[in-house]
Structure 1
Amino acid sequence: MFIEQGINTGNKFWKYILGSIFVIGASFLGQMPMLVLMLFETALKGKKYPTTDAELLHFFEPNLNLFLLLIPFVFALGGIYFAVRFLHRQKFISIITSREKMDWKRVFFSFGIWSVFTIISTLLMCYVSPDDFKFNFQLVPFSILVVIASLLVPIQTSVEELVFRGYLMQGFANLFKNKWFPLLMTSCVFGLMHFSNPEVAKMGNIIMIYYIGTGLLLGIMTLMDEGMELALGFHAANNLIGALLVTSDWSAFQTYSIFKDVSEPVAGLDIILPVIVVYPLLLTIFGMKYKWSGWRDKLTGAVV
């Protein structure tokens, strides 16, 4: 079973703490290019040093800014690989799936189904509330965005999945010897990781329901399917298609997307609806396709 692949007497929980510190350190190292460029811009060009998240998000040209924001995840990926292979002495595939190799059909199916949903729902919102969206398409900047986002956004989302649904979920299972605590804990930590996002400041803490709910969805996918392939596809589609389709002045990703949301954001049904309606429907689709069974044991049972 996937969650039990990290269970062995040598995998003490302090190793997961040390490994997490190493991954965070690698991520900080990846922030050096942004810091160097910021110092260059402020010292030699006289630009004001950004002191808020909003100022930071608008400090560089959007494509350069996106590139610099995503580079730390490349370093973090190296950090995760080092921790798994040399600190825990596990095969890297063991924190991804219980299958002998990655099931790319699962990844692409999940990516496809969520991409279609995201595109249709976005176009529907543009049709229903045309005044809330502005056509933002610029061929050359958008083409550059497609290259940057297609290369780096899947790395960003994969790193988050490897950390939360892979590394930490197995780590908490090692410590607590059950499945429900790792599922809930990693979902909450995943949600809280987004607490500093500008969307939270703009829309209020209620949006944390969406972030934690999304973490719970991804965790359930991983435990029920005995691997994170479906979670990898969903997460990549969610962030990549979102970055290409819609941006706003208050979102975490400032991009040359096709549309720009110019409305004043209000947290409402669009926050709650995915968690209580769309996500259960998605789990039902996956469950039927992949013939999931034993939900209670796989989500709350003991780890031996």
Structure 2
Amino acid sequence: MDYIQQAYKGLHDIWRYIIGVFIIFFAWQLIGMIPLGIALAIKIFSDASVGMPTDIPAMSKVLGSNLFLFLMLLSFAVGLLGVFLSSKFLHKQSITSLTTARKKIDWKRFWFIFVIWGLVSSGFVLFDYFMSPEDYQLNFKLQPFLILAVIAILFIPLQTSFEEYFFRGYLMQGLGVLFKNKWVPLLMTSIGFGLMHIANPEVEKLGPVIMVYYIGTGLFLGIITLMDDGLELALGFHAANNLFTALLVTADWTALQTHSILKDLSDPSSMALAEIFVPVFVVFPVLLFVLSKKYNWTNWKDKLLGQVVEPPKEDYKILD
């Protein structure tokens, strides 16, 4: 049984997925946002000089970047809980079968790509810093950085795990069962992942072209999930990408406003080509090649474009 077929180990009626999506969004966007809303309300009503913030950078400025980051990430943690509860109680599906087609979750895969991408992404930032030091400002302050590090290490993996379990896990399997193929869920989850970021301040600053990066990243993560029959690589890559970025560099126009080591002062419009197109069309294909060699991926056409067939009943058992 491949990764999408793991859905057949649980109750996989389409109405269950529809209800599950509502439960997950309710947990993430309503319950999870309550602490952030309360904190903003207290700040606004206690300080007459503070106006209602209208975007992410403004909210970060009102609350302070560390508190805002914690409260924002907390909403994703609640969303992740919503995914797990929907899977367990609505679908009677185990977290293992939501994660991988293997008998158990392979954490070696997670840590392999986490370390590799952490080194590579950090290397890109440091290379750019040494090549163009005038574009950066040293932003390091020990106490707020240590607080940031604790928040980031504990909560960013929960944020990225929510996005992976929701898009590459819950929706990928559900859409695969619905459409009986793999290419539709791959495309739909990639586009959905990109659209989830449409309210990010980067989109306003760089324009719609940034969606190439978001959708391209979603496509890359979807490909490695289907080729590897599991979420482990996607979970590790996404966690490393967001964690190392949060700790290393920030900018006034990004969604992650942090007490990072460096602050990017450059004009973002001037780096659009490098920041958007090079990862999607150069770096990600190289990573796919490396991973395919390490994990012996074959039969790409069937893995990415093939049909989803319900396995024989004796191959799986729905838990009561």
TM range (shorter): over 0.9
Residue in structure 1 matched with residue 133 of structure 2 by the alignment: 130
**What does residue range 1-304 of structure 1 map to in structure 2 within 5 Å?**
1-7=2-8, 10-27=11-28, 28-46=30-48, 47-266=50-269, 267-304=272-309
Structure 1 stretch displaced more, 179-188 or 13-22: 13-22
Give CA-to-partner distance per residue, 1:37-94, whole Å, 9 cap, x none.
1111111222212133442232211111100110111111111111101111111211
Structure 1 stretch displaced more, 195-204 or 3-12: 3-12
Give CA-to-partner distance per residue, 1:23-48, whole Å, 9 cap, x none.
11111201111111111111122221
Which consecutive unaligned segments of at least 5 residues does structure 2 have?
310-320
Q: Distance in 1 between matches of 2:57 and 2:74?
A: 19
Q: Distance in 1 between matches of 2:46 and 2:122?
A: 43
Residue aligned with 1:268, SS = helix
2:181 partner letter: N
Give CA-to-partner distance per residue, 1:122-150, whole Å, 9 cap, x none.
01111111111111111111111110000
Cα displacement (A) at 1:9: 9.2
The verdict on how the C-alpha distance between 1:9 and 1:45 changes in structure 2, with shifts beyond 3 A counting, is closer
Which consecutive unaligned segments of at least 5 residues does structure 1 have?
none
List structure 1 runs of 4+ shifted beyond 6 angstroms.
none
**Percentage of pairs with the same residue:** 50
Contact 1:154 1:236 in 2 (8 A): yes
Q: Distance in 2 between matches of 1:70 and 1:164?
A: 17
Residue in structure 1 matched with residue 312 of structure 2 by the alignment: none
Give CA-to-partner distance per residue, 1:151-200, whole Å, 9 cap, x none.
00000000100000100000100110000100011001001111110001
Q: Distance in 2 between matches of 1:229 and 1:11?
A: 22
Q: Distance in 2 between matches of 1:154 and 1:9?
A: 26
The verdict on how the C-alpha distance between 1:257 and 1:285 changes in structure 2, with shifts beyond 3 A counting, is same
Contact 2:140 2:260 in 1 (8 A): yes
Instruction: Report the RMSD for the aligned CA atoms in angstroms.
Output: 1.2
Residue aligned with 1:256, SS = coil
Contact 2:227 2:303 in 1 (8 A): yes
Contact 1:7 1:170 in 2 (8 A): no
